Structure 1
Amino acid sequence: MYVPIELDKTRNFRYGMKAISYIEKKFKKPIAKVDLNGLTMEETATVICAGLTHEDTKLTPDKVMDLIDEKGNFKEVLEAMGEAFNLAFGGNEVNEEKNE
């Protein structure tokens, strides 16, 4: 399941096992212990990056911040990220597409 977001182009959030593992490694704690409401900007960029790297492995948190600053709407990005994160943990709705 993907949640699209318009940045430099249409990108699709997805939080699979690799993305969750990336977040856990960066935060040095299990995902269940990560407070998504109390993140710094750098931490937020890390979570956003994790959800987008399945399509673009060259993305970094710094590049994500640049994309959002240049082309994105921060509020819309956070909403899409939250929706994708919810879907990863059993939420429903959204655009379902097959993995490549």
Structure 2
Amino acid sequence: MSKPYIILELDRPRRLRYGMNALVTIEELTGKPISKLDLNAVSIKDLRAIIYAGLVHEDKELTPEKVGELIDEHGDMENVAKKLGEAMTAAFGKGKGSGPEAVNRE
């Protein structure tokens, strides 16, 4: 069974998912281990990298810069941050029971 995902509305509905490859990408882009990331005190650069890592699985053409543009043009930072939190919670197994509308599986 694959990792759960959260729908993030940007230019289109996109599936925000944090599996093993996404977590490695976050560590590579931020230079920090996942265990040291504090999502309540993250830089904008790291936030963009984290969102990119969660989206690139379904669109290999994405870049961190393109994700920044999508958020600027179609996103609401408060909603993006909320969805990021939901996706991270789902990835680490604490999202079960939050309802089928919040966590999806492929």
TM normalised by structure 1 equals 0.90
| Aligned-pair CA distance for 1:95 | 2.9
| Aligned-pair CA distance for 1:56 | 0.7
Match of 1:38 in 2: 41
What is the aligned counterpart of 1:60 among 63, 85, 91?
63
| Aligned-pair CA distance for 1:61 | 1.5
- Structure 2: state its 5+ residue gaps: none
Alignment of 1:50 onto 2:58: no
| Aligned-pair CA distance for 1:28 | 2.1
* Superposed CA offset, 1:40-74 (max 9, x none): 21110000000111111121111111101111111
- Structure 1 residue ranges (4+ consecutive) displaced by more than 6 angstroms after TM superposition: none
Match of 2:22 in 1: 19
Alignment of 1:3 onto 2:12: no
What is the aligned counterpart of 1:96 among 84, 87, 104?
104
Amino acid at match of 1:79: K
Alignment of 1:82 onto 2:89: no
- Secondary structure of the 2:90 match is helix
**Separation in 2 of the partners of 1:18 and 1:45?**
16
Over the aligned positions, Cα root-mean-square deviation in angstroms equals: 1.1
- Structure 1: state its 5+ residue gaps: none
| Aligned-pair CA distance for 1:7 | 0.4
| Aligned-pair CA distance for 1:5 | 1.1
Amino acid at match of 2:43: T
**Separation in 1 of the partners of 2:80 and 2:15?**
11
